[in-house]
Structure 1
Amino acid sequence: MNSAVSSLPRLPKFPKPLALPLGLIPTAANSAILANILNRLFAPELADGELDFLEERVMLIEARDARLSYKLTLKNGRISAADSKQTHDLSIDGTVYDFLLLATRREDADTLFFNRRLRLGGDTELGLYVKNFLDALELDDRLGPLLKLLNGATTVIGKLP
């Protein structure tokens, strides 16, 4: 057996029994919920036009271990669910754990992309805009108790086999 392969750390995965029902939720429903949350979270940035680079562009986000997909776009200054038939301009996929690491700032986007834990596809220039936008955000005050919940979830999932 190749020792380099056997020495790679095992990465946490979202539990399959929880992923099964999540995968049954249509992408349109997931996307609408996430769009609503992001519109509230990014309200100041949306008002300032900082997300205009997404106007009429479609971004696909997939948490592959949880069988979750989101298709988002920006229309009239608001994040909204993209039509499921629209092709995406940018895709970002990873595991729930990797997205939690990113959201809680336990790991930076560059490290996650460099180590291929988060994968980018499609328009890389658009991907760079998204990454730079996320890197510049200071959300600790806005997230408040939600950040504690996300940190707890990251810790729990990180301990799973």
Structure 2
Amino acid sequence: MRLPPAIAIPFDLVPIALAERTANMLLHRLMRKHPALFERLGEHKAKAYAFRPVDLPFTFVISPAAEEVTVLRSDAEIHADATVEGPFFILLALMEGRLDGDALFFSRDLSVSGDMEATLALRNALDDCEIDLPTDLAPLAGPFAPLVAHTAARIRGKVLFEEPHAWN
């Protein structure tokens, strides 16, 4: 489920400002599509959540109260209440509620540290929103939206359901 190096390595050249602007555009699109996304967090809405894809050179720190994403290089020091680390596709699938986070944690495909109560609140909020990234984000491609949605859904299906998985 890891990004192939041929795809991941070029991300080293992407400027942080561009990655951050893109991440914020995508977050705001998701917020418009799922306005209650962060409301279920309650007291944990003011916390910061870091997501570290092990196969990309970035860390994404989401601040629900501010509805913004800060992007850092993966080796930068992070200031977050909770951190989730794992392969990029696994993190996306967790956002959509397509994989069991507990099973991934116990199989060591996912690492979680920091405020576990806040992490569980975020997981519950995401599970309730029924996010479908290809469908939710494809309209950003304008007239190519149907093609982008179809292609992204096929890639998701291949990565999540056709790749062999070892339990340990």
TM-score, L = length of structure 1: 0.69
Alpha carbons 2:24, 2:68 under 8 Å: kept: yes
Within the candidate set 62, 66, 70, 2:52 is matched to 62
The residue aligned with 1:7 is none
Within-5 A mapping of 1:10-159: 12-27=1-16, 29-43=18-32, 44-45=35-36, 49-51=39-41, 53-55=44-46, 57-75=47-65, 78-82=66-70, 87-140=79-132, 143=136, 148-157=150-159
Cα distance, 1:110–1:70 mapped onto 2, change above 3 Å: same
Equivalent AA in structure 2 for residue 73 of structure 1: S
What displacement does 1:151 show? 3.1
Higher deviation after alignment, 99-108 or 130-139: 99-108
Q: Which has the higher helix share?
A: 2
What displacement does 1:94 show? 0.8
Aligned-pair RMSD on alpha carbons? 3.2
What displacement does 1:49 show? 3.1
Alpha carbons 2:19, 2:71 under 8 Å: kept: no
Question: What is the CA–CA distance in structure 2 between the aligned matches of 1:89 and 1:28, rounded to whole Å?
Answer: 23
Cα distance, 1:38–1:51 mapped onto 2, change above 3 Å: farther
What displacement does 1:105 show? 4.3
Question: What is the CA–CA distance in structure 1 between the aligned matches of 2:15 and 2:59, rounded to whole Å?
Answer: 8
| Structure 1 residues 61-86: Cα deviation after superposition (integer angstroms, max 9, x where no partner) | 111112232122134xx411348576
| Structure 1 residues 122-143: Cα deviation after superposition (integer angstroms, max 9, x where no partner) | 1111111111111112234963
Q: Percent identity?
A: 25
Please list every run of 5 or more consecutive structure 1 residues that lacks an aligned counterpart in the other structure. 1-11
| Other structure's SS at 1:42 match | helix
Cα distance, 1:156–1:36 mapped onto 2, change above 3 Å: same
Question: What is the CA–CA distance in structure 2 between the aligned matches of 1:138 and 1:147, rounded to whole Å?
Answer: 16
Question: What is the CA–CA distance in structure 1 between the aligned matches of 2:106 and 2:128, rounded to whole Å?
Answer: 19
- Which one has a bigger Cα radius of gyration? 1
The residue aligned with 1:5 is none
What displacement does 1:106 show? 3.7
What displacement does 1:115 show? 2.3
Please list every run of 5 or more consecutive structure 2 residues that lacks an aligned counterpart in the other structure. 139-145
| Other structure's SS at 1:22 match | helix
